[in-house]
Amino acid sequence: MSNQNNRYRMQLICWTIVAIGCFGRYTPCLGQLDLHSEGYFQERIQPILAAKCWSCHGPKVQKSSYRLDVRSIAFGGGDQGEPPIVPGRTDASLILKYVSDLNSELAMPPKDSQQPRLTEAEVASLAEWISAGAVWPDSASAAMENPLDWWSFKPMHKATLPNAESNPIDAFVKAKLSDNALTMSPPADPLTLARRLYFDLIGLPPTPEELDTFERSSHVDAEAALDQLVEKLLNMPQYGERWARHWLDVVHYGDTHGYDKDKPRPNAWPYRDYVIRALNEDKPYARFIEEQIAGDILWPSTRDGIEALGFVAAGPWDFIGHAEVAESKTDGKIARHLDRDDMVSNTIGSFCSVTVHCAQCHQHKFDPISQEDYYRLHAVFSALDRTDRKYHRDETHQMRFLTLERVKSETDLALNQIEEPLKRLAGEEYSTLTKRIENAKKATDKNANKGAEFGYHSAISSKQDDEKWVQVDLGKKGDVDRVSLFPCYDDFNAIGAGFGFPVRFKVEISDDPEFENGVIPFLGRSDDTTTADVKNPGLLPMAIHGDREGGKAGRFVRVTASKLASRNHDFIFALAELQVFDRSDTNVALGREVTAMDSIEAAPRWRKTNLTDGIFPAQTNGDVKETLVQERDLLILKLADDATKNRRQQLLATKKQIEADLKKLPEPSLVYSGGIHSGSGTFAGTGAMGGKPRPIFLLVRGQVTQPAAEMFPGTLSALQFRPSVFSLSPEHPEGERRVALAQWITDPANPLTWRSIVNRVWQYHFGRGFVDTPNDLGHNGSLPTHPELLDWLAVDFRDSGGSLKRLHRMIVTSATYKQSSMSNADGEKLDSSNAMLWRQNRRRLEAEAIRDSVLAVSGTLDKTMGGPGWQDFVVEHPEHSPHYEYDLADPEDAKTWRRSIYRFIVRSQTQPWMTSLDCADPSMRVDKRNESLSAIQALALLNNGFMLTQAKHFAERVMRESDDVADQVDTAHRLALGFAPSESRRIQLIDFARMNGMPYLCRVLFNLNAFTFVD
């Protein structure tokens, strides 16, 4: 791209020379008009533009968004970015180049157009006019349509209700229907209504008993029964699970990065759980927004304040573009720019429903969003990357943690201030040592195993406090001086050195191989590894000496781990080598027989015999690194005066103390979120600069190689309810930028925020929003079907504390919602798309609801909430580019029978079965699910292992409940479809079940339209 830019400049220079020559020869007749007068433009210039240019760049057509009838655009430029007319500067006014240089790619009118070219005299006039200052009077500039003159950018207005309906929704909907000679459909029958409500609010089907209860109470008092049911459903934890899925569609949540290699994000799920919790707690919507953008600043001590930031990091991340390409390279710049674009689009798109990403290369073509606005929004996020963030769920711990972290970073900063000048003084010697230290570090980071024989590895345990032991038989009883434990190395889960080394353990010696009699503990008195956690030794061997009296005697030496090492949501015990030294310093364990409580025995890497094979990973260069660090310390201390030395000493002591204090806190939790990344090497983040935001420049045509003016944090400038360029102190911490944006979004006067969410909620209840493009309320979106109602609800929602549950209640208890979904002739004739809501819409269940329903009716649904996602794939080649193999998963794995919201969502290899059912693509911000029908989808529902397995469980369930086939058929039908079969149908189904078996019938029920569609 930079080439293109250079080329441009070159051509411009050449052209200027040509043009000057050209004007030299011609002396255009100026007549009596003053070049600087307003009249000159109208008399001489506008006619040229109108005749030669307007057909493509005028009132009717605006190619490249450029027009020569509106002054601001004529001067400012269209898509191309550069200003075509610069008053007083013929050399910089590109328009002259376009109209005069026939050979240019951008020759205007284009070479192949029918439009006659400008005459040389006309070009000269244009040049003269520009040279004289390009005076263009207001009166000769076409009035632009004001892009702010659009419903969603105007303040909300709560209209008075058009009639006396008790539910405001019905008031507006009925008024509109009657204006169009339509009437509401009758209410759906209680069973239909109940089924609709269950799916709508909790995403699961009602049980036959629940239906019976509701039907009975409806006959007594329909309204009370409905209120009661709605209350019950809104208070079920499954409500949050159902509605969190909608929100995660919008914010494109996933559990892997996507792109090349597609690495997993093991700590993304706390954000998913936050959303579920927030919805179940009916968190005020403004708070919900602010937490997701700036929770760490506004509510730093709360769990929600931190976990909510998963929002910023929810979308995909280009691992290679960040981790393997430096920010200084063009590709690195592009990767980081696109990454921030995702944060910006996700924030404004999700909360405000406008398409700010359209202003990346040029002003938004339709909405009042400038390119500056877009890059100001980049500046809001420019300190952030996507990274795991440490936090404590417990508020006290979190506060302590934050304090310590703050002091730590202050100390680091102070240390840095002392050391920086010394480092500079030390010059090259310092940098050489640093380089050597880096290399030494790398050497230890590499796989240190000498061969394929890693060591002994216990069976995998789900609990950390399971006990595991391994022991060696020395062959005969003897005196033992000391025992050495050698840690393992394994890259699994990026653990590396110290893999599997127990957190707490004991070493014992005995003559009894069962260690029941005569057991002598083999531990020094001071280092009690049984009651305090042991620091992972990396690859350093850990020697356990005998007590003061000297050694112990016995034939068997046993190491028992009482607190296992963490691996990946599970726990193990592994050791590379166990050495037992006698008094003559001979390793008497070498080659001896090993037994263990359990062992994974995966030769050659892992097997018991590896424990005494003499092969273990060596700490390469580790000690060298320490020496080098010392050497470097000495080097700079030599250059310091005493006061500095003392100060440094104090700071180091403080740092050590803080680190010790931090260790006293429990292990922090992690959430993958937007945050300051403190990496090194190619992907550095802003951590090293104390989280100082990266400078952001407006990029001409969106090209990272063409930075223009620096942009400071702000937002959409056309909306004036609140300052759009944030006033922040010069040294403000980056978080203040996010706070400012969050508060701009949640400002009660923001015309977009409240409409956006109400429209989204409406869509999930009716299958279609007032605005059918919920991510776009701008000019390119559709117009609201019921603008007054949308505004009424938006204002009401805002003013009543932003309670989503209140909004649901108002909607689902309305007559509008309760209508039957059956069609009628009048409605079809006058409003076939049902935009005016003369009936309820029949809805097809989403992938998740189908899957959850299958589990629910089969009686296999595990309702456990929260935690890491379940995985219905097997990972192959995890070390480089994980292959997520869904085919290899076992559909009988009960761990996968939890609700679909807890599914581990892979971006590059989306779950094929869910995808065939139009599941949301986690790489896209999905405001509305597609609804497709295809043979592939039918095959998935018929033949997938999940469906066939569950058909069997469903059959087992109904057969457990009764021995009578008729009853079984009845139960199955009612469970799956919500109603009992007719008498004749029952006979037919019994016949089918007798002939083909109950699982077959269950599979048929799962595949029926009545299962997938909700009336």
Stretch 59-88 residues interacting with other proteins (CB under 8 A): 79
Which range, of 70-78, 240-248, 501-509, 915-923, touches other proteins by CB under 8 A? 915-923
Nearer to other proteins, 17 or 995 (CB): 995
930 binding other proteins? (CB under 8 A): yes
Nearer to other proteins, 663 or 994 (CB): 994
Residue 234: CB minimum distance to other proteins, A: 29
Instruction: From residue 845, give the alpha-carbon distance in Å to each of 169, 240, 757, 910.
Output: 25, 17, 22, 19
Which residue in 942, 964, 987, 994 binds other proteins (CB under 8 A)? 942
Nearer to other proteins, 350 or 387 (CB): 350
Which residue in 306, 804, 1004, 1014 binds other proteins (CB under 8 A)? 1004
923 binding other proteins? (CB under 8 A): yes
Confirm if 751 and 792 have CB atoms less than 8 A apart: no
Which residue in 141, 484, 536, 823 binds other proteins (CB under 8 A)? 823
Residue 266: CB minimum distance to other proteins, A: 19
368 binding other proteins? (CB under 8 A): no
Structure tokens at 988: 């037919």
Residue 949: CB minimum distance to other proteins, A: 5
Nearer to other proteins, 180 or 996 (CB): 996
Instruction: Write out the binding residues for other proteins, residues 253-312 only, by CB under 8 A.
Output: 258-262
Instruction: Write out the binding residues for other proteins, residues 94-133 only, by CB under 8 A.
Output: 105
- Nearest CA to 669 out of 401, 389, 294, 304 is that of 389
Residue 355: CB minimum distance to other proteins, A: 3
Instruction: From residue 51, give the alpha-carbon distance in Å to each of 70, 101, 139, 236.
Output: 15, 19, 19, 69
Partners of 903 in the β-ladder = 870
Nearer to other proteins, 426 or 975 (CB): 975
Q: What DSSP state is assigned to residue 693?
A: P
Nearer to other proteins, 349 or 869 (CB): 349
What residue has token string 């339709």? Answer: 366
Which residue in 27, 163, 447, 988 binds other proteins (CB under 8 A)? 988
283-298 burial, b if ≥16 CB within 10 A, otherwise e?
Answer: bbbbbbbbbbbbbbbb
Nearer to other proteins, 64 or 720 (CB): 64
Q: At what angle do helices 998-1006 and 945-961 cross, to 10 degrees?
A: 120
The Cα–Cα gap between 489 and 807 comes to 56
The Cα–Cα gap between 801 and 282 comes to 10
Structure tokens at 358: 């359209």
Q: What count of residues does the chain have? A: 1015
- Nearest CA to 786 out of 111, 144, 120, 177 is that of 177
Nearer to other proteins, 100 or 192 (CB): 192
Nearer to other proteins, 261 or 400 (CB): 261
Burial of 381 (0-12, 13-18, 19+ CB in 10 A): buried
Partners of 553 in the β-ladder = 479
Which range, of 19-27, 413-421, 959-967, 1004-1012, touches other proteins by CB under 8 A? 1004-1012
Nearer to other proteins, 255 or 577 (CB): 255
370 binding other proteins? (CB under 8 A): no
Nearer to other proteins, 233 or 1004 (CB): 1004
449 binding other proteins? (CB under 8 A): no
Residue 189: CB minimum distance to other proteins, A: 13
The Cα–Cα gap between 218 and 239 comes to 22
Burial of 139 (0-12, 13-18, 19+ CB in 10 A): exposed
Nearer to other proteins, 650 or 943 (CB): 943
Which residue in 190, 316, 498, 554 binds other proteins (CB under 8 A)? 316
Instruction: Write out the binding residues for other proteins, residues 882-911 only, by CB under 8 A.
Output: 883, 887, 891-892, 907-910
Which residue in 19, 95, 314, 334 binds other proteins (CB under 8 A)? 334
Which residue in 699, 918, 957, 968 binds other proteins (CB under 8 A)? 918
End-to-end alpha carbon distance in the chain: 55
Instruction: Write out the binding residues for other proteins, residues 738-797 only, by CB under 8 A.
Output: 773, 775-776, 778, 780-781
Which residue in 822, 835, 959, 965 binds other proteins (CB under 8 A)? 822
Instruction: Write out the binding residues for other proteins, residues 948-987 only, by CB under 8 A.
Output: 948-949, 951-952, 985
Which range, of 413-421, 489-497, 535-543, 988-996, touches other proteins by CB under 8 A? 988-996
The Cα–Cα gap between 304 and 281 comes to 12
Which residue in 716, 745, 807, 940 binds other proteins (CB under 8 A)? 940
Which range, of 124-132, 349-357, 551-559, 857-865, touches other proteins by CB under 8 A? 349-357
877 binding other proteins? (CB under 8 A): yes
Count CA atoms within 13 Å of residue 826 on its CB side: 12
Which residue in 18, 452, 924, 987 binds other proteins (CB under 8 A)? 924
- SS3 labels along 227-274: HHHHHHHHCCHHHHHHHHHHHHHHHCCCCECCCCCCCECCCCHHHHHH
- Nearest CA to 254 out of 979, 920, 717 is that of 920
Which residues are CB-neighbours of 549 under 8 A, at least 6 positions away? Answer: none
Nearer to other proteins, 371 or 908 (CB): 908
Which range, of 434-442, 734-742, 863-871, 916-924, touches other proteins by CB under 8 A? 916-924
List, as own/partner pairs, every contact residues 895-899 make where C-beta atoms lie below 8 angstroms and the sequence separation is at least 24, other chains included.
Answer: 895/870, 896/870, 896/871, 896/872, 897/855, 897/860, 897/861, 897/862, 898/861, 898/862, 898/863, 898/864, 898/870, 899/203, 899/238, 899/241, 899/848, 899/852, 899/855, 899/861, 899/863
# of chain residues touching other proteins (CB under 8 A): 102
Count CA atoms within 13 Å of residue 119 on its CB side: 8
Nearer to other proteins, 125 or 775 (CB): 775
Burial of 624 (0-12, 13-18, 19+ CB in 10 A): middle
Nearer to other proteins, 457 or 925 (CB): 925
Which residue in 395, 828, 893, 964 binds other proteins (CB under 8 A)? 828
What residue has token string 């799956």? Answer: 976
Instruction: Write out the binding residues for other proteins, residues 451-490 only, by CB under 8 A.
Output: none
584 binding other proteins? (CB under 8 A): no
Confirm if 771 and 783 have CB atoms less than 8 A apart: yes
Beta-strand relationship, 542-545 and 696-699 = unpaired
Residue 22: CB minimum distance to other proteins, A: 23
Which range, of 745-753, 854-862, 866-874, 939-947, touches other proteins by CB under 8 A? 939-947
Which residue in 176, 844, 899, 957 binds other proteins (CB under 8 A)? 844
934 binding other proteins? (CB under 8 A): yes
Burial of 383 (0-12, 13-18, 19+ CB in 10 A): buried
In 803-922, which ranges are E strands? 843-844, 874-876, 883-885
Confirm if 384 and 312 have CB atoms less than 8 A apart: yes
Residue 327: CB minimum distance to other proteins, A: 12
What residue has token string 């080439």? Answer: 3
Nearer to other proteins, 60 or 63 (CB): 63
Which range, of 132-140, 353-361, 536-544, 754-762, touches other proteins by CB under 8 A? 353-361
Nearer to other proteins, 97 or 625 (CB): 97
Identity of residue 792: W
Nearer to other proteins, 4 or 680 (CB): 4
The Cα–Cα gap between 133 and 117 comes to 24
842 binding other proteins? (CB under 8 A): yes
